[in-house]
Amino acid sequence: MDHLVFVFGTLKDGFPNFGTNRGLRVPGSFKTRVAYPLYLVGDRYSPWLIDAPGSGFRVTGELYRADVEAITAMDTLERVSELDGYHRTILELEGVDSPGMVSAYAYLKQPQQLAPSEIRAGPLGEYKHEHSALYQRRAA
């Protein structure tokens, strides 16, 4: 069974971790139905979408249909089983180019994980190529 996954950062097409994203893209762009804070965080400039609805901006990203294998690969990248990892939750989205709402998984950080001194940029409405140029992959 396929699931919908909203990606807003390095898992987008043409971005540093897209190779891990084995989903099939749903045409168009999508925005979170409500605002969320999206920051570049730490020395790695990692994009963090914070689970704090109502602050920040409506965040733009891409939507993918992903099977269990694809979601497992993304869960591993996002370190969902680690205390300092992201958690996968359901967000409500709206199409940018077409009307309608859809629910999809997204990877968010808990507010208590964010140390204000680690914020390098944001809040942002969209993670762009100039942001990904700053991104540093995790050391192996």
Integer Cα distance of 57 and 123 in angstroms: 7
CA distances (Å), origin 23, targets 9, 46, 66, 123: 15, 21, 4, 27
Structure tokens at 27: 């045409």
Q: Determine which one of 62, 69, 78, 130 is catalytic.
A: 78
78 as an active site residue: the answer is yes
Integer Cα distance of 106 and 91 in angstroms: 7
Integer Cα distance of 60 and 119 in angstroms: 20
Integer Cα distance of 31 and 60 in angstroms: 4
Contact 92, 32 (CB under 8 A): yes
Which residues are tagged catalytic? Answer: 78
